[in-house]
Amino acid sequence: MSAPNRNIAFALALFDELARAGVREVCVCPGSRSAPLAIAAARTPALRVRTHLDERSAGFFALGLAKASGAPVAVLCSSGTAAANFLPALVEANLAQAPLIALTADRPPELRDWGAAQTIDQQRLFGSHVRWFAELPLPEPNAALLRQLRATAARAVAVAGGPPAGPVHLNVPLREPLDPRTDPADREALAALADEPGLHGRDRGPYLRVSPAERAPDPALVRRWAAELAASRRGVLIVGASECSAALGVELARLSRALGWPILADAASGLRGGAHVARAPLLGAYDSILRAERFAAEHAPELVLRFGAAPTSKGTATWIERSPGTELRIVDSEQAFRDPAHHAAEIARAEPARLCAELADALEPRTGAGPGSWLADFVAAEARAQRALAAGIAAEPELFAPGAARVLGASWPAGGTIFASNSMSIRDLDGFLAPRAAPLRVLASRGANGIDGITSAALGAAAASDAPLACLIGDLAFLHDAGGLLAARRLGLSTTFLVVNDDGGGIFSYLPVAAYGEDADFERLFALPHGVDLAELTAFGGGRHARVSKRDELEAELDRARSEGGLQVLELRVDRGANVAHHRALWAAAANAVDGDSPR
């Protein structure tokens, strides 16, 4: 490794070590103070560098890339407010347990707090929103400092990868010169370190190897839980709004059969699609089912075993809270206390698929799942609810948001990915995506649940693989990250955005404040109609725009979008009031079908 000066040498060692430890992608934003780092990243053969115009979009792009790939992703910026723009993405990465490494260039200590340009306090800039912070030493041709540099880089990757996975922050102070000019004195000093592993790395692998933490289930817990679960005839398995492995789907199916319990799978779990669906009583319409008051009251569970994050469905949480005597247990491999209602009696820190497998092995399959049994009731309710939802959607000549989510979920190709925005998009996908045998990956930013950065995160996820990716998104979320669209053309990415445009914040129409109308200045303060032409915005991003209003139009445009590639924006315009009414009519129809108040 030959370097013209100490800054470039340090930067090359840093990125070489990040690559050795497992980083393969670096998102780079332009800047002067970060110039040595950007140059070094581009010169590291094992790294793919993707450049971005602004730091906020870059942070979310890196987040999507990390979520989709499961590997640590680095994102680099200059000093000052450039670094502050990473905060929203790091907040989401922390709560969503995504492995991000934020690299922020900084002024040297002598310039801090003295009015130097583009200089802010970057020490622990992101506070508790990152898992670990470290400031790297100022570059010098010094063996001890180079070893510290590599050890810190390796540690950063290990911490980011977890468990639990999450973001880390490395602050990198640099003195001038910031360009790759040759410094004879530095070259001579670096030559004297020719055999130093801190400069060139160890012969094989990273400078510091960190073994992953063991997450094997505790045998005593498996024995105890197997006995206690077997004693409960009224239980449910819930998979929350965090992506799960295909292996968990297979083992959940086994556990469900062994217990005679239904599976309530959040759309964001990714378990609504796959071969396991045919082998398990997996419910996709449970949000509608639990709106059926009689069914919900008569089927209060004794025990709920939840995997991962809380579900998107608020009704599910309410059902548990209103069921006296219900015990909630949570399986969470990431050591997170994700229980906002404080209802859980026990949290097991174990790898979910392994725990499911061992519990299934320890249990004898139930034989009481015939007509009238606990499980059969849920299976029948799912069939009735799905028929009612399908009929209600088909009865409308025009497509509304529920139908758009259902069509997208049914027609997106096997092995493809749907990235769901927050607000109504994830709720529509969760409420109306029917289980399917074809594999379907679903990603969502369900950490902090914000609508910011969705476009960039979806594009980052698209960059992680060649699998087709569609993003279901509302108009406000699409506008919120409009600048992120530029990455599609600049980086040659193919992504289809299905934008449900109700000209404002539709989710507020479902909240109590909507009933106050003019008294709450609802339209101006909450709905916020904008009137933006999405065709013009799509042209700004260099993409193709098409409007759809019917099911067959949407199916045809989805096919065309996949075949053409590039940035594709499909816009479904809906009247906000009519869209709300359609949702409520569907929920009522499904609830009536489940409770038996309408023909089956």
For residue 88, give both structure tokens.
Answer: 């929203």
Residue 305: alpha-carbon gap to chain centroid: 22
Residue at 288: amino acid letter: S
Is 212 domain-assigned? Answer: no
- pLDDT at residue 78 in the model: 97
Spatial distance between the Cα atoms of 265 and 249, rounded to a whole number of angstroms: 10
Is 56 domain-assigned? Answer: yes
- pLDDT at residue 507 in the model: 87
Whether residues 272 and 370 fall in one domain: yes
For residue 24, give both structure tokens.
Answer: 């393969």
Whether residues 370 and 459 fall in one domain: no
Q: Are 282 and 265 a contacting pair, CB within 8 Å?
A: yes
Whether residues 339 and 411 fall in one domain: no
Q: Domain containing 230 — which CATH number?
A: 3.40.50.1220
Is 95 domain-assigned? Answer: yes
Whether residues 40 and 174 fall in one domain: yes
Please choose, from the candidates 44, 106, 103, the residue with its C-alpha nearest in 3D space to the C-alpha of residue 72. 103
Whether residues 322 and 444 fall in one domain: no
Is 207 domain-assigned? Answer: no
Is 598 domain-assigned? Answer: no
Spatial distance between the Cα atoms of 145 and 141, rounded to a whole number of angstroms: 8
Is 447 domain-assigned? Answer: yes
Whether residues 237 and 135 fall in one domain: no
Domain range for 131 is 6-200
HSE-CB for 73 with a 13 A CA cutoff: 31
- pLDDT at residue 597 in the model: 54
Whether residues 172 and 231 fall in one domain: no
Whether residues 541 and 433 fall in one domain: yes
Tens digit of each residue's pLDDT, the chain (600 residues):
589 999 999 999 999 999 999 999 999 999 999 999 999 999 999 999 999 999 999 999 999 999 999 999 999 999 999 999 999 999 999 999 999 999 999 999 998 989 888 899 999 999 999 999 999 999 999 999 999 999 999 999 999 999 889 999 999 999 999 999 999 999 999 999 988 999 999 988 899 999 887 778 899 999 999 999 999 989 999 999 888 888 899 999 999 999 999 999 999 999 999 999 998 999 999 999 999 999 999 999 999 999 989 999 999 999 998 888 899 999 987 767 888 888 899 999 889 999 999 999 999 776 544 445 999 999 999 999 999 999 999 999 999 999 999 999 999 999 999 999 999 999 999 999 999 999 999 999 999 999 999 999 999 999 999 999 999 999 999 999 999 999 999 999 999 999 999 998 888 888 888 888 888 888 888 888 999 999 999 999 999 999 999 999 999 999 999 999 999 999 999 999 999 999 999 999 999 999 985 333
Whether residues 424 and 525 fall in one domain: yes
CB atoms within 10 A of CB 127: 11
Phi/psi at 348 (5° precision)? -100, 125
Is 555 domain-assigned? Answer: yes
Strands 544-548 and 416-420: unpaired
Integer-rounded Cα Rg, in Å, for the chain is 26
Spatial distance between the Cα atoms of 488 and 131, rounded to a whole number of angstroms: 30
Phi/psi at 577 (5° precision)? -65, -45
Question: 456: burial class by Cβ within 10 Å (0-12, 13-18, 19+)?
Answer: buried
Is 349 domain-assigned? Answer: yes
Point out the domain boundary residue: 378, 408, 438: 378
> Where do we find the tokens 């979009």?
57
SS3 473: strand
Point out the domain boundary residue: 200, 229, 252: 200
Phi/psi at 503 (5° precision)? 55, 55
Q: Are 103 and 37 a contacting pair, CB within 8 Å?
A: yes
Q: Domain containing 460 — which CATH number?
A: 3.40.50.970
Residue 445: alpha-carbon gap to chain centroid: 4
Spatial distance between the Cα atoms of 593 and 292, rounded to a whole number of angstroms: 8
Q: How many helices (H) and strands (E) does the chain have?
A: 24, 18
Whether residues 167 and 253 fall in one domain: no
DSSP letters spanning 292-321: -HHHHHHT--SEEEEESSPPS-HHHHHHHH
SS3 44: coil
Spatial distance between the Cα atoms of 246 and 356, rounded to a whole number of angstroms: 13
Please choose, from the candidates 403, 420, 568, the residue with its C-alpha nearest in 3D space to the C-alpha of residue 485. 568
Whether residues 155 and 126 fall in one domain: yes
Whether residues 403 and 344 fall in one domain: no
Q: Are 232 and 305 a contacting pair, CB within 8 Å?
A: no
Q: Are 79 and 33 a contacting pair, CB within 8 Å?
A: yes
Phi/psi at 203 (5° precision)? -60, -40
DSSP H helical segments within 192-313, as ranges? Answer: 197-200, 219-230, 246-259, 286-289, 293-298
Longest CA span, the chain? 87
Count of domains forming the chain: 3
